[in-house]
Structure 1
């Protein structure tokens, strides 16, 4: 079944484009407008995003939007347990493509903390996230070609120890 044939739940709209760039710009416009509205009525706004290569055009477009970025909190919904210098690091991806231009002023909450394993870094990650105002305002989840969303893999017998 192709995506356009899927019946979307009430309140969910599907948007399609001929290439990633126009879709990324449209999503960046929508997210920026929502964050602007939230900042009008709240002290801070939050944005949670997925990693991987797919959101790069969206990150780049969003980073150029006029917002009070100093009042925006950004975090990943998924991360690989690798050092930030590793090309597979989603933290690195966000820093290189989203936390640029005006968005460099945003506060970034990293899930990857010191430790050789996620278990070792869990306490520090939880502590870092205590400053995050909840509930989240905007959550952008991506879907991989294999059907995974935010490192949740359908029909997987178990999760990878080091995430995806």
Structure 2
């Protein structure tokens, strides 16, 4: 596993944006289209602002989310809203976007139709920008939750799963580990000494511990390379 450790959040975002741009550009030389799943929240905003200015054939790029809060897409906490504001903007405005939020009333009701949509429109992803919480969760796969074991099944045919977060908004939809592992590379973006310590601990765990620290399922698998991008703080 490659680790890229930076002194500042600014230098981290510059380097990661350049790395993603290079990987997308390289993939586009041999493929008509390229896809990337990106995380929500506040941490990747600066990264997305930089990436949105990349000189790429964005019309041939498909973007989706690693997970979504089950909220209207205009809600301030919507990941879709954030990604459209900061990433699918500037030069990247030409990119295609596949949302995870559907018109269904609940994530559980929407899971089946979304799974079919992803199967038809995006059966795999080329690259993933993944975040991690201080509790070791990634996407919306949280420790000791009902959906976790199924969400972490690397052999599952499910591409997404309804999930429940321990904090509001609790209702979520998440890509499954099996879907994320269709990627050619996963970039793990974290900041702060606390998350670095969680990352270090999770890297040493075996499969029996993944229900406590879900990110260990990503870090200890050997099918898809994971590259860590870390800085001391995001602000």
Considering the TM-score relative to the shorter chain, is it more than 0.5?
A: yes
Q: Give the match's secondary structure for 2:12.
A: helix
- The structure-2 alpha-carbon separation of the partners of 1:40 and 1:123, relative to structure 1 and needing over 3 Å to count, comes to same
Stretches of structure 2 that go unaligned for 5 or more consecutive residues are 147-162, 165-169, 174-235
TM-score by length of 1: 0.85
Q: Give the match's secondary structure for 1:48.
A: strand
Determine the structure 2 residue equivalent to 1:42: 31
Q: How far did residue 146 of structure 1 move?
A: 3.0
Determine the structure 2 residue equivalent to 1:140: 129
- The structure-2 alpha-carbon separation of the partners of 1:153 and 1:126, relative to structure 1 and needing over 3 Å to count, comes to closer
Q: In the alignment, is the contact (CA less than 8 A) between 2:107 and 2:172 conserved in 1?
A: no
Q: Separation in 2 of the partners of 1:120 and 1:148?
A: 23
Determine the structure 2 residue equivalent to 1:104: 93
Determine the structure 1 residue equivalent to 2:171: 162
Task: Detail structure 1 runs of 4+ shifted over 6 Å in the superposition.
Answer: none
Q: Deviations over 1:26-84 (max 9, x none)?
A: 11100110000110000100111111111111111111100000000000011000011
Q: In the alignment, is the contact (CA less than 8 A) between 1:81 and 1:117 conserved in 2?
A: yes
Stretches of structure 1 that go unaligned for 5 or more consecutive residues are 1-11
Q: In the alignment, is the contact (CA less than 8 A) between 1:62 and 1:98 conserved in 2?
A: yes
Q: Give the match's secondary structure for 1:22.
A: helix
How many equivalent pairs are there?
151
Q: Separation in 2 of the partners of 1:50 and 1:157?
A: 20
Q: Separation in 2 of the partners of 1:98 and 1:157?
A: 30
Q: How does 1:17-32 map to 2 (within 5 A)?
A: 17-32=6-21
Determine the structure 2 residue equivalent to 1:69: 58
Q: Separation in 1 of the partners of 2:43 and 2:133?
A: 8
Q: How far did residue 116 of structure 1 move?
A: 1.1
Q: Give the match's secondary structure for 1:88.
A: coil
